[in-house]
Amino acid sequence: MISPWRKLREKGILGMNQRNADFIMPYNKRSHYPLVDDKRATKKAALKANIPVPELYGTIEIEHQIKQFQQLLKNENEFVIKPANGSGGNGILVIAGKNPNGYYRKANDALISQDEIQYHLSNILSGMYSLGGATDSAIIEYRVKFDNAFQTISYRGVPDIRTIVFRGLPIMAMLRLPTRESDGRANLHQGAVGAGIDIHSGKTTLGVCHDSLIEHHPDTGARIQGLAIPHWQQILEMAAKCYDIAQLDYMGVDIVLDKELGPLMLELNARPGLNIQLCNDHGLLPRLHQVENLDSIPAKAQQRVAMSLDIF
Amino acid sequence: MKDLQIKVIAALLVIAATALVYHKNTELGLPLLPAEMNDVWTVEARISFQANGGPAKAEFYIPHKPPGFIKLNEDFISSNYGLATDYDKVNRKALWAVRRAYEKQVLYYRCEIAFDEASYQSRLQPIPSYPSRPVYGEPHGSAIGAVLEEVRAHSADTITFTRELLLKLNSPEPDENVAIINKAGIGKAEWVRQVINILAGARIPARIVYILQLQDRIKHGTLVPWLEVYDGKHWTAFNPVTASHGFTPNTLVWRVGDDPLVTIEGGQPAQVEFSIARHSRTKVSLAEQWAKQVDSKVMAFSLFTLPVHTQNVYRIILLVPLGALLIVVLRNIVGIQTFGTFMPILIALAFRETQLLWGVTMFSILVAIGLMLRLYLERLKLLLVPRLAAVLTIVILIIASISILSSQLGLDRGLSIALFPVVILAMTIERMSLIWEEHGPSEALNRGIGSLIAACLGYLVLSNETLAHLVFVFPELLLVVLAAILLLGRYTGYRLTELWRFRAVLFSNKNKTNNGDAP
């Protein structure tokens, strides 16, 4: 009987302490965090580098602007409200349409009044969802119309693809599928399903929900394994390219697939979670060490992706 | 490289601390364990007053040969004042004087006393004359007369008479005569004076004596009035409330008589506060004397040189790093989630006063009620800061209500709820309700229970007497704690909860080959 500690080590599982002490702290410069933490700055930098992102309708920075939030929408009835400095998917409000009686409809079909939206905006501004509770801004952006490829395995909400990028090389990826429990959000700790993606083929492998392995989506019942992710090559390149704008050696890139616009970069994460290891049934450590031992990293994103495909 | 640095620093810290502890333990004889000691008390009176600007004089009664104690030493701390002491066969007085005194003046009297059976002497002085019978007004006169008559019938001598009288006056179901007499609050000086006045009706000499109840870690103590009667040979003490005979063991007789405790000339009336602390002073004070003889610099900078009041504060503060170390272990090695990093330690400090069971119960009740009200507040759509302020106010109201309720029910422990850190509680409730809404009740309860477990473990650490003694007598041990914290700061192993989190990996039978494993 080997100790569970040793077994995890042998499997190459990266733990929270080691992630913080050996990768985030030495590799990620603190001065590069603001660009990642502030979604507006991320968007701006991404557009400059020709990385497609969901269109920004507007930002709300002071309480006074809240009343006029509808003017920013340019007649769009579908939109997403996010805190600019939010974390962990908190404070995101997805509006899927407007009813003739003036109420808005949330992604889960619940109705929400204009007042309630304004209250939510005000909560965002007062810093309820921001890191450290500092005052924040709210952004209103395009609501992604998700690709039909995922229709069978997601329950209301937009699935996204999380890729861990280390020194500019995509090293592991997963598809995050909303469930009824996660209320349309794609965050694993809120109950979403994570499905590992084989970096080579771009096909889903295992599914994981709440730390345990599953084969079928808990709400739709569809099989998770073996689904080919459309535009896979492009997604990998986008993820690798994000390294150029963020300059963080260890980060997570979240990409969504839009029915019409293709892959869009949603956000970057300087402290990506560890569950990705479960659904890939593979620890991050061996891959991280391999990339650590590389002598030189190509400057071009395409070459880095090629390198990744070569190694893994 | 960093790891090596940390290891070197940690090693140096541990070596320095061990050397100091070894020196203090073997050379100076400071005890490593708090046990096996005679009670030694340090009592400190702090007299503060506003001076008028001219010459100032202060007269203050101080104990003289208190029965049952020996005085190890005493100190008068009074920067530029001239000092004299005066003894009039009954009481001792300290007389301080200064030519010019401005603004706030603080004088200290400090003495160390040890319990000593042999110094229980009969109290003989002064021999009083028999008091003349006072003229009582009506209807008092007849009531007192009737009471005295009845007490006399039930007693044999002065001692039994006094006890009988006190029992009667303190009876929870007073008869009509006693009801007429009883006006002053039971136990106050007023009350004792009245008893003396009634005893004079039976021509029994009696006097008021002020005592100090010795209890560890008292910061704002006051003197308590006591009763002494003269039975023709010596003075005998009575508890004016319970009528029990003699002084209880931890009673320090401060002075006799009813004059003001302190008189100030050239200033505003003074405030007097007593601090009391119990120490391992028998050995420690021996060690101190020894240290003075060998001129030890180590002891010259020890915490024992601080005023008792401050010492008591440090006894608690020095334990906090141990709590912090516990939190580091719980969070980084075990992986327990808590609300706020050090919130459990503050709660644990409150538990020290409330005791564990009461603390946990009251904390749970408080958070549960707070959470319910907070979830209702959510509907009112308040802005963040006003909402926090509202939660804070609600928390304080709940605490006050629980105190009142438990006082009505006679549950004294319930009163200690006032010691809970209210701001921290309000923040906890706020965060808990956010998590409740965002991640569901199970996550919120999970963290709430995590915090509670951390607080309970923190309580076990913070209330451990041996640890408290060790860090106070050997504060350099905190360097060892610091070393441990630094070392844990570079712990990159798995947290215990991660073993559970990655259990799917542990139990998967598939032996996947790590095709890319670096050699």
pLDDT digits (tens, 9 = 90+) for A154-171: 887 788 999 999 999 999
Q: Which residues from chain B sit within 8 angstroms of residue A115, using beta carbons?
A: 381
CB–CB of B112/B72 below 8 Å?
Answer: yes
Residue A15 DSSP symbol: P
CB–CB of B517/B29 below 8 Å?
Answer: no
Calculate mean pLDDT across residues B472-483: 92
Q: CB B494 to CB A277 under 8 A?
A: no
ipTM surpasses 0.85: no
Any idea where the domains of chain A sit in the sequence? 4-34+47-52+146-311, 56-142
Helix, coil or strand: residue B396? helix
pLDDT in tens, A216-271: 888 888 888 888 999 999 999 999 999 999 999 999 999 999 988 999 999 999 88
Across the interface, of B439, B493, B508, the residue whose CB is closest to A5 is B493
Any idea where the domains of chain B sit in the sequence? 2-36+282-314, 315-501
Q: CB A211 to CB B434 under 8 A?
A: no
The Cα A44–Cα A55 span in angstroms is 11
Q: Is the pLDDT of residue B124 over 80?
A: no
pLDDT at residue B16, rounded to an integer: 93
pLDDT at residue B388, rounded to an integer: 84
pLDDT at residue B288, rounded to an integer: 61
Residue A156 DSSP symbol: S
pLDDT at residue B511, rounded to an integer: 44
Residue in chain B nearest A16 by alpha carbon? B494
Q: CB B383 to CB A21 under 8 A?
A: no
pLDDT at residue B38, rounded to an integer: 63
Average pLDDT, chain B: 83
Q: CB A15 to CB B498 under 8 A?
A: yes
Residue B269 DSSP symbol: P
Q: Is the pLDDT of residue B412 over 80?
A: no
CB–CB of B59/B50 below 8 Å?
Answer: no
Instruction: Beginning with the edge strand found earlier in the chain, give each strand of the sheet holding B206-213 in spatial order.
Output: B235-238, B224-230, B206-213, B251-256
Q: What is the dihedral of CA B196, B198, B200, B203, to 10 degrees?
A: -130
Q: CB B385 to CB A212 under 8 A?
A: no
Q: Is the pLDDT of residue B134 over 90?
A: no
Calculate mean pLDDT across residues B107-113: 87
Average pLDDT, chain A: 88
Q: CB B384 to CB A126 under 8 A?
A: yes
Quick one: pLDDT band at residue B439, thresholds 50, 70, 90? confident
Highest mean predicted confidence (pLDDT) among A84-88, A115-119, A232-236, B470-474 = A232-236
> Which tokens belong to B90?
């009954």
Ranking A71-75, B57-61, B148-152, B239-243 by mean pLDDT, the lowest is A71-75
The Cα B302–Cα B473 span in angstroms is 8
Q: Which residues from chain B sit within 8 angstroms of residue A280, using beta carbons?
A: none
pLDDT at residue B234, rounded to an integer: 85
pLDDT at residue B19, rounded to an integer: 92
Quick one: pLDDT band at residue B282, thresholds 50, 70, 90? low
Bond from prior residue into B55 cis (ω within 30 degrees of 0): no
Q: CB A17 to CB B494 under 8 A?
A: yes
Q: Which one is predicted more confidently, B83 or A1?
A: B83
Q: Which one is predicted more confidently, B468 or B418?
A: B468
CB–CB of B454/B363 below 8 Å?
Answer: no
Q: Is the pLDDT of residue B291 over 70?
A: no
Calculate mean pLDDT across residues B434-454: 85
Interface of B with A (CB under 8 A): 332, 335, 381, 383-385, 434, 438-439, 490-495, 498-506, 508, 510, 512, 514, 516-518
The Cα B387–Cα B410 span in angstroms is 34
How large is the angle between the packed helices B343-354 and B320-328, nearest 10 degrees? Answer: 130
pLDDT in tens, B315-338: 889 999 999 999 999 999 999 988
Residue in chain B nearest A211 by alpha carbon? B501
DSSP alpha helix (H) spans, B187-280: 189-201
Calculate mean pLDDT across residues B424-428: 84
pLDDT at residue A76, rounded to an integer: 82
Q: Is the pLDDT of residue B507 over 80?
A: no
Q: If we measure between CA atoms, which residue out of A245, A294, A227, A175 comes closest to residue A310?
A: A294
Name the superfamily (CATH) of residues A4-34+47-52+146-311: ATP-grasp fold, B domain (3.30.470.20)
The Cα B294–Cα B288 span in angstroms is 10
Q: Is the pLDDT of residue A54 over 90?
A: yes
Q: If we measure between CA atoms, which residue out of B312, B277, B261 comes closest to residue B49?
A: B261
Q: Which residues from chain A sit within 8 angstroms of residue B339, using beta carbons?
A: none
CB–CB of B390/B426 below 8 Å?
Answer: no
Q: How far is CA B349 from CA A265, B96, B332, B342, B353, in A?
A: 48, 40, 22, 11, 7
Q: Which residues from chain A sit within 8 angstroms of residue B508, using beta carbons?
A: 213, 281
> Which tokens belong to B184?
């002053």
**A132 lies within 8 A of chain B by CB:** no
The Cα B499–Cα A5 span in angstroms is 7
Q: If we measure between CA atoms, which residue out of B169, B216, B385, B231 comes closest to residue B315?
A: B216
Q: Which residues from chain A sit within 8 angstroms of residue B516, using beta carbons?
A: 286-287, 290, 311-312
pLDDT at residue B516, rounded to an integer: 37
pLDDT at residue A237, rounded to an integer: 94
pLDDT at residue B296, rounded to an integer: 64
> Which tokens belong to A240?
């690798």
Q: Which one is predicted more confidently, B417 or A281?
A: A281
Q: Which residues from chain B sit within 8 angstroms of residue A7, using beta carbons?
A: 505-506
Q: CB A281 to CB B510 under 8 A?
A: yes
Helix, coil or strand: residue B364? helix
pLDDT at residue A44, rounded to an integer: 93
pLDDT in tens, B359-409: 898 889 889 999 998 888 878 877 778 888 998 998 899 888 888 888 888
Calculate mean pLDDT across residues A129-147: 84
The Cα B486–Cα A56 span in angstroms is 45
Q: Which residues from chain B sit within 8 angstroms of residue A22, using beta carbons?
A: 492
Provide the CB-side half-sphere exposure for B21 (13 A, CA): 21
Calculate mean pLDDT across residues B485-493: 90
Q: Is the pLDDT of residue B518 over 60?
A: no
How close B493 comes to chain A (CA, Å)? 6
Q: What is the dihedral of CA B271, B274, B275, B276, to 10 degrees?
A: 180
pLDDT at residue A132, rounded to an integer: 67
Q: Is the pLDDT of residue B351 over 70?
A: yes
Q: How far is CA B350 from CA B345, B347, B455, in A?
A: 9, 5, 10
Q: In this prediction, what percent of chain B has a pLDDT beyond 90?
A: 17
